[in-house]
Homo-oligomer: A and B are copies of this chain.
Amino acid sequence: MKLTDAEWQIMNCLWARYPATARGIAERLPKEVEWAYTTIKTLLARLVEKGAVKENKKGNTSLYEPVLSKQNARRNALKMLANQAFDGAFGPLMHFLIEDEKLTESQKNDLLKAIQKQDRKEKSK
């Protein structure tokens, strides 16, 4: 499932708080995003159609909530990026991040710790 830029905005709002009404989403979108209410409704309708969001009518108002989880969306997005731009593998992608982005000392430590933590978890299985 591929999300468009505009759809990510909506999903990010939804993941942050749901169920949510279109109105509520409108209020919680980043301030730079100034969409007409109906724009949001259109995007939500498209998301429902593609199965990323579920819609529940309460009275005359729809409540929306994510079906696609943030984690899966992220996984998909990374996978697609890896395929498209990093020879299909995460390794090169991570190397690129490590080598290209200037990591601060603490970010590095952070990562080292994260990797080691995973490592322990793995071993204790």
**From A70, which residue of chain B is reached at the shortest CB distance?**
B85
List the one stretch of A35-43, A50-58, A74-82 in contact with chain B. A74-82
Number of A residues with CB within 8 Å of any CB on chain B: 36
A73 at the B interface (CB under 8 A): yes
Verify A97–B85 contact, CB threshold 8 A.
no
Could you list 5 A-B pairs, sorted by A, with CB under 8 Å?
A: A77-B84, A90-B101, A95-B111, A103-B118, A111-B111
A interface list, Cβ under 8 A from B: 5, 8, 12, 71, 73-75, 77-78, 81, 84-86, 90-91, 93-101, 103, 105, 107-108, 110-112, 114-115, 118-119, 122
Verify A98–B118 contact, CB threshold 8 A.
yes
